[in-house]
């Protein structure tokens, strides 16, 4: 069944293609931008729009990361909607600067300000201009101001994330003498994943700037005195240096045509060689990532990583029968879904339904490239919502789902386990610590999947067995 | 570092300092990182629990995603409210208009789900592109035979409070459309209770024991048909005053129904609410039944409260919640647990609420309107609070500082209303404040060295 058929399956008797979305499988662009800005040292994310978006996005991200997350808003009201929001934007920047003393304010627009046609780029230029700027009007020296255009109707949170990363490097990176450092640009991954990526590049002896890096800011420690700006994040100096790094590596980065990703910006502006790899999940894709690091560093895979790889192969073999010939649904951001599908394929699970709310148009192509054995055997849906996903999963018959918390209703209806990955994870502890990447992340996923299946089998067995 | 922005100074005061009224009910200050949401949010939270209606968010996906199943509002029957419907506007609709998309979406969803009514929430962007939602709604209503009601809730219109008004307006369009036949004289509507964790069922049970008939729930476990005949009730009980007082006033004007403000949190307020109802109906037998009920319920709950109080006596609490009326009840409930409120604030209180809070609280208590993390975290530390009562956005502030927390939000899974609710509240506060984990929090670490 094609995506169009699935849409039609839930539509009016006239057979029209579905117009509405029920239980969306994606979030909006400003959310992604806020997340990306959170990974830059000393940054306060700032949404130019009405108050609600910022509050909602904070609430949503807080329930996932369980960390304080301050996102400012220009609180555009009725007047500003009619007459323009520049004074709100300026006042907002002044207030954030006064209270937080940030190094950077990451301004993302919302659907409202995009549609009323605010020229935020010019406004920010005026805000830092010696004659028209905030220093003159308010005696407040603004920090670095970054602007990411993120009209929520133009893309998903993943697109907003890429847009913010790209704007940040475009604003801050500078020319200079080439360093021996590389810039690693991961897509939306967990704080645990970021920490693991750091270990891996360290293992290859590669000086690396990870951008953004919210591993500390969104997975921090308890403190005696509250810090309004949580410590951590990619240092601004290092972002400056991405303009003259030896290379940049984008992990993931399936994009809509509207978003030029940071690696491409750095290549076009400063001639920094750009490499792109899929999310390293599973042995094949992690090997591919490690091969690239070997190429860039001249060093082989470090011993400890090789050992992790060995243990993973061992675990695959020990557990293969429990997962063999099972059917899964995989749901999440496009980059994640590509990696997960390739991983499932290599352990003998068929991801019969592969779905994302993303709409890059490149999902099927990427999956075929990463896991050619799946071609023709699976349903690949982009721009999907959970109504479509549930229908497809029912039709295909699945043994489990790998996806975020929002898939819970579907798995509950189908009576199958949900292995929680990606974002949002709102109904379990530890979203920050779910590992997805590298041999270690894969090991975690493999164990969780096998155990979920074993638990179901055990619970449903008439024997209260405790040995297998 | 600056804690309170100069433009917000009028929104913060201390009980007993005799200064002017707290400034409130205005748009959040730009860049203040307000904890408060938008007009759309206000409407959405009020109407959301009507379980047999279709709630279609007309706008880009964000507004719908972030409010998907936002409240723990339970239903005893249909659960249509728990799905997240959106017209999911795309670039082309923003350019060419979204009316066609709205009409098709409505037709498709009504055919698929057979709701009793449909609410169409107008979000920011729709306000800007100027779709004629009223006209589309009328057309679809004619074609499908169910009420299709636009909710004028453009996010930028004002704050959450304006959203409450928009929701009340939408409800008023339903009220009065049904038959009032068979409604008795001891009858009420429940306004401003959202049946979080099944709370409305607790209240209904009390009313039943008193001999009071409930005509309509507005809106917890709400049904379109009940709401359409709500104008037949003899009395309106308004709990969440911020959200539904306006509706009660309008119903008084239009249908002559008097209203009482009530709160079901804490023993005093719960008992007070029930006595107030019994007195209103001037029925001595009902009053006697109410007395018995209160005595019986309190006798069951008191031992729990007393046991918790032993450990909680003298501890200091901070409260930051959505509605000020809730805050007032919380101050009293915490007092019952022997705790002192050092900070109390709300997102949507009005001048009258804050005046009341100032009188109620001990001198020195900080009272704040439309606060933000910078202020809250500073007050929390300076006032040496042992407990924070708030919602999802406040929780990590407390935890980051090693302060106990009680969820008093939309999403809670534990009923806190009713006499039984007070016992739940006491237990939850106790479980958090008395947890041994705080000994590891940096702010306490040096205080309790363990001798090994
Ligand atoms: S501010 Fe506007 S766009 Fe944002 S959540 Fe509210 S209605 Fe939606």
Q: Any alpha helices (H) in A173-302, and if so which ranges?
A: 191-203, 236-241, 262-270, 282-297
- Mean pLDDT along residues A67-88: 91
Closest approach of A296 to chain B, Cα-based (Å)? 40
Chain A CB contacts of B88 below 8 Å: 20-21, 24
The pLDDT tens digits of the residues spanning B129-153 come to: 999 999 999 999 999 999 999 999 9
CA of A178 from ligand 1 middle (Å) equals 44
CA distance B405 to B408: 9
pTM for the whole structure: 0.94
Where residue B261 falls (left for φ over 0; alpha for ψ -120 to 50; beta otherwise) is beta
Q: Do B33 and A75 touch (CB under 8 A)?
A: no
CA of A248 from ligand 1 middle (Å) equals 36
Closest approach of B3 to chain A, Cα-based (Å)? 7
Q: Are strands A104-109 and A43-48 parallel, antiparallel or unpaired?
A: parallel
Which residue, chain included where needed, has tokens 């205005």?
B26
Helices A157-172 + A262-270 axis angle, to 10: 30
Query: Mean pLDDT across chain A, nearest whole number?
Result: 93
CA distance B74 to B415: 11
User: What is the strand order of the sheet B213-219 is part of?
Assistant: B213-219, B187-193, B235-238, B259-261
ipTM over 0.90: yes
**In chain B, what is the greatest distance between 2 CA atoms, to the nearest angstrom?**
79
Using the predicted structure, report yes or no on whether residue A152 has a pLDDT greater than 80: yes
What pLDDT is stored for residue B322 in this prediction? Answer: 85
Q: Do B60 and A57 touch (CB under 8 A)?
A: no
What pLDDT is stored for residue B356 in this prediction? Answer: 87
CA of B44 from ligand 1 middle (Å) equals 11
- Range from A121-125, A147-151, B8-12 carrying the lowest mean pLDDT: B8-12
Q: Do A20 and B401 touch (CB under 8 A)?
A: no
Output the ligand 1 site: residues, CB below 6 A: A 50, 52-53, 56, 110-112; B 38, 40, 59, 62-63, 123-124, 155
Ligand 1 pocket test, pick from B28, B38, B57, B129 with the greatest ligand atom count within 8 Å of Cβ, gives: B38
Cα-based torsion angle of the residue sequence B361, B366, B367, B373 in order, rounded to the nearest 10 degrees: -140
Closest approach of A168 to chain B, Cα-based (Å)? 20
Both tokens assigned to A164:
């913010």
Cα-based torsion angle of the residue sequence A429, A433, A436, A438 in order, rounded to the nearest 10 degrees: -160
Closest approach of A277 to chain B, Cα-based (Å)? 29
CA of B47 from ligand 1 middle (Å) equals 16
Where residue A101 falls (left for φ over 0; alpha for ψ -120 to 50; beta otherwise) is left
pLDDT-flagged residues of chain B (< 70): 1-3, 446-452
CA distance A45 to A68: 13
Ligand 1, atom nearest to B38 Cα: 6
Q: How many CB pairs under 8 A join A and B?
A: 249
The pLDDT tens digits of the residues spanning A427-463 come to: 999 999 999 999 999 999 999 999 999 999 999 999 8
The secondary structure of A295-346 as a DSSP string is HHHS-PPPHHHHHHHHHHHHHHHHHHHHHTT-EEEEES-HHHHHHHHHHHHH
Q: Any alpha helices (H) in A397-437, and if so which ranges?
A: 408-414
Using the predicted structure, report yes or no on whether residue A12 has a pLDDT greater than 50: no
Q: Do A220 and B397 touch (CB under 8 A)?
A: no
Which residue, chain included where needed, has tokens 């306004």?
B191
What pLDDT is stored for residue B449 in this prediction? Answer: 53
């Amino acid at each position: 069944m094609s995506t169009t058929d699935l849409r039609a399956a839930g539509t009016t008797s006239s057979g029209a293609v579905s117009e509405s979305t029920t239980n969306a499988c994606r979030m909006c662009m400003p959310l992604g931008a806020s997340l990306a800005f959170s990974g830059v040292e000393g940054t306060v994310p700032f949404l130019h729009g009405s108050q609600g978006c910022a509050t909602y996005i904070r609430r949503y991200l807080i329930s996932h990361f369980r960390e304080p997350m301050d996102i400012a808003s220009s609180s555009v009201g009725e007047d500003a909607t009619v007459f323009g929001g520049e004074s709100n934007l300026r006042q907002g920047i002044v207030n954030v600067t006064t209270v937080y003393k940030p190094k950077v304010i990451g301004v993302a627009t919302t659907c409202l300000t995009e549609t009323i046609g605010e020229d935020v780029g010019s406004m920010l230029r005026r805000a830092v201009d010696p004659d028209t700027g905030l220093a003159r009007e308010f005696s407040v020296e603004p920090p670095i101001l970054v602007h990411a255009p993120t009209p929520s109707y133009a893309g998903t949170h993943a697109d907003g994330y890429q847009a913010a990363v790209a704007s940040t490097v475009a604003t801050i990176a500078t020319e200079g003498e080439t360093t021996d450092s590389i810039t690693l640009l991961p897509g939306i991954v967990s704080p645990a994943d970021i920490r693991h990526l750091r270990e891996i590049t360290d293992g290859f002896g590669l000086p690396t700037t990870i951008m953004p890096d919210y591993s500390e800011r969104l997975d921090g420690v308890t403190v005696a005195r509250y810090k309004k700006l949580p410590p951590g994040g990619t240092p601004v100096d290092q972002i400056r240096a991405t303009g003259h790094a030896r290379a940049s590596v984008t992990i993931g980065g399936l994009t809509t045509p509207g978003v030029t990703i940071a690696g491409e910006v750095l290549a076009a502006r400063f001639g920094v060689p750009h490499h792109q790899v899929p999310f390293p999940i599973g042995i094949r894709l992690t090997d591919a990532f490690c091969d690239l690091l070997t190429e860039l560093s001249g060093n082989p895979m470090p011993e400890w990583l090789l050992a992790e790889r060995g243990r993973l192969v061992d675990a695959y073999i020990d557990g293969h029968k429990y997962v063999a010939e099972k059917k899964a649904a995989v749901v999440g951001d496009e980059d994640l879904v590509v990696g997960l599908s390739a991983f499932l394929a290599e352990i003998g699970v068929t991801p019969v339904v592969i779905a994302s709310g993303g709409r890059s148009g490149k999902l099927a192509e990427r999956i075929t490239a990463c896991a050619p054995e799946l071609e023709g055997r699976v349903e690949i849906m982009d721009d999907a919502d959970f109504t479509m996903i549930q229908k497809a999963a029912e039709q295909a018959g699945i043994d489990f789902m790998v996806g975020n918390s929002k898939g819970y209703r579907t798995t509950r209806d189908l009576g199958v386990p949900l292995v929680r990955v990606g974002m949002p994870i709102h109904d379990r502890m530890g979203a920050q610590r779910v590992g997805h990447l590298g041999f270690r992340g894969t090991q975690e996923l493999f164990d969780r999947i096998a155990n979920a299946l074993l638990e179901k089998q055990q619970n449903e067995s008439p024997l209260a067995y405790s040995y297998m | 570092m600056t804690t309170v922005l100069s433009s917000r100074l009028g929104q913060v005061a201390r009980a007993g300092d005799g200064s002017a009224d707290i400034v409130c009910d205005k748009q959040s200050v730009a860049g203040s990182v307000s904890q408060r949401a938008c007009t759309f949010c206000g409407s959405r939270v009020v109407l959301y629990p009507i379980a047999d209606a279709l709630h279609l968010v007309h706008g880009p996906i964000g507004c719908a995603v972030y409010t998907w199943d936002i409240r723990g509002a339970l239903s005893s029957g249909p659960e249509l409210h728990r799905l997240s419907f959106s017209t999911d506007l795309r670039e082309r609709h923003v350019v060419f208009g979204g009316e066609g998309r709205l009409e098709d979406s409505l037709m498709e969803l009504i055919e698929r789900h057979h709701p009793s009514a449909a609410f169409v929430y107008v979000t920011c962007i729709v306000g800007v592109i100027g779709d004629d939602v009223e006209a589309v709604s009328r057309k679809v209503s004619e074609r499908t035979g169910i009420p299709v009601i636009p909710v004028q809730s453009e996010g930028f219109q004002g704050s959450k409070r304006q959203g409450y008004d928009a929701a009340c307006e939408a409800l008023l369009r339903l009220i009065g459309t049904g038959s009032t036949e068979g409604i008795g004289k001891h009858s009420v509507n429940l306004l401003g209770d959202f049946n979080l964790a099944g709370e409305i069922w607790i209240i209904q049970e009390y009313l039943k024991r008193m001999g009071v008939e409930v005509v309509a729930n507005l809106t917890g476990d709400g049904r379109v048909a009940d709401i359409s005949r709500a104008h037949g009730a003899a009395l309106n009980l308004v709990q969440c005053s911020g959200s539904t007082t306006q509706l009660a006033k309008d119903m008084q004007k239009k249908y002559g129904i008097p209203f009482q403000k009530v709160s079901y949190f804490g023993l005093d307020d719960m008992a007070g609410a029930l006595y107030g109802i019994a007195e209103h109906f001037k029925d001595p037998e009902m009053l006697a039944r109410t007395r018995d009920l209160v005595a019986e319920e309190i006798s069951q709950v008191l031992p729990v409260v007393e046991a918790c109080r032993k450990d909680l006596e003298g501890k200091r609490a901070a409260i930051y919640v959505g509605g000020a009326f809730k805050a007032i009840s919380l101050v009293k409930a915490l007092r019952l647990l022997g705790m002192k409120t050092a900070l109390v604030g709300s997102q949507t209180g009005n001048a009258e609420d804050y005046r009341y809070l100032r009188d109620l609280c001990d001198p020195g208590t900080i009272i704040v309107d439309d606060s933000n993390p910078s202020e809250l975290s500073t007050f929390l530390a300076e006032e040496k609070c042992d407990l924070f009562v708030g919602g999802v956005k406040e929780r990590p502030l407390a935890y980051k500082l090693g302060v106990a927390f009680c969820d008093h939000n939309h999403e809670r899974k534990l009923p806190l209303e009713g006499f039984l609710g007070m016992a739940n509240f006491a237990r939850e506060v106790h479980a958090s404040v008395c947890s041994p984990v705080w000994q590891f929090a940096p702010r306490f670490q040096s205080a309790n060295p363990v001798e090994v």
